[in-house]
Amino acid sequence: MCSIGFARSLGFALLPLAVCCIVANILLFFPGGEIQYVQQERMSRLIWFMMGIGGGGVLMFLPAGVFISLGKCTGCCWNESFMVRTDALMCGSVMAALVGLAGSGYCFIISAMAMLEGPQCFTALGWSYPFANEGGRLKDTWSKCLQPVSIVEWNVTLMSILLGLSGLEFIICVLQVINGLVTAVCRPCCYKQDYTLNA
């Protein structure tokens, strides 16, 4: 398996996931496509943590860019200079993957917390977090939210999307960490074997 080519494919896979995270997070600010609630600061407090925009979105462009910039795999174990350059690139990609793990983990954790807390909405008792007050029993208190219209469905759908996307991003970054570490361990052995055959 070409480790560099595999890393590039992981980078290309991260790009649409990051864009979708940004879009999902932005949509959370406009329930039902209305802007009045964000103007009135009636949004759920955890949405302002920008988990999809920052953690699962913009921050993921760093590992994606590093993975893609590794270059096409043109062969393995050419010579010592190629091996050193490849090891340096893979080491950099592992560091970028660790940044990606932090970003996707942040997005996943904040999204899960926001899902458990539920949205801020207008109830018979005024603006509150009815789901947090009911111990997170979302289904039992579904009808308590009067405004924004369909805010529960809106939040549950978008938070679920963020959870899924950030989970995929986390897995991709873990794969690159493994890929980089395996390359760092196996490349010297590969070079030594190639050097012996050519001697």
**Distance separating alpha carbons of residues 41 and 63, to the nearest angstrom:** 33
Kindly tell me if the per-residue pLDDT of 194 is higher than 60.
Answer: no
Residue 169's domain comprises 3-35+44-71+85-121+149-186
Could you tell me the two tokens for 124?
A: 């018979």
pLDDT in tens, 100-132: 999 999 999 999 999 888 888 888 888 888 887
At 30, give phi and psi (nearest 5°).
Answer: -130, 70
Structure tokens at 152: 């529960």
Asked whether residue 99 is assigned to any structural domain, the reply reads: yes
CB of 67 within 8 A of CB of 177?
Answer: no
* Inside any domain, residue 90: yes
- Residue 58 burial (CB < 10 Å; 0-12/13-18/19+)? middle
Question: Is the residue at 76 inside a domain?
Answer: no
Q: What is the pLDDT of residues 68-87, one digit of tens each?
A: 988 654 444 444 444 445 56
Query: Is residue 45 within 8 Å of 120, Cβ to Cβ?
Result: yes
Rounded Cα gap, residues 177 and 72, in angstroms: 19
Please report whether residue 133 resides in a domain: no
Task: Please indicate whether residue 28 or residue 194 has the higher confidence score (pLDDT).
Answer: 28
What backbone phi and psi angles, to 5 degrees, belong to 78?
-70, -60
Q: Please state, in angstroms and as integers, the Cα–Cα distance from residue 72 to each residue in 69, 86, 114, 194, following that order.
A: 9, 11, 40, 21
The verdict on residue 78 lying in a domain is no
Assigned domain for 170 exists: yes
pLDDT for 75? 47
Token digits of residue 186: 């196996």
What is the structure's pLDDT at 178? 92
Q: How confident is the model at residue 33 (pLDDT cuts 50, 70, 90)?
A: confident
Rounded to whole angstroms, the Cα distance separating 70 from 66 reads: 7
Q: What is the overall mean pLDDT for the chain?
A: 82
At 184, phi and psi to the nearest 5?
-65, -35
**Confidence at 93, pLDDT banded by 50, 70, 90:** confident
Q: For the chain, what is the domain count?
A: 1
By CB atoms closer than 10 A (0-12, 13-18, 19+), residue 74 is: exposed
Residue 140 has a pLDDT of 60
Least trusted range by pLDDT, from 13-17, 18-22, 139-143, 149-153 = 139-143
Identity of residue 109: I
Is residue 28 assigned to a domain?
Answer: yes
Residue 112 lies in a domain: yes
What confidence tens digit (pLDDT) does each residue in 137-160 have?
555 666 788 888 888 889 999 999
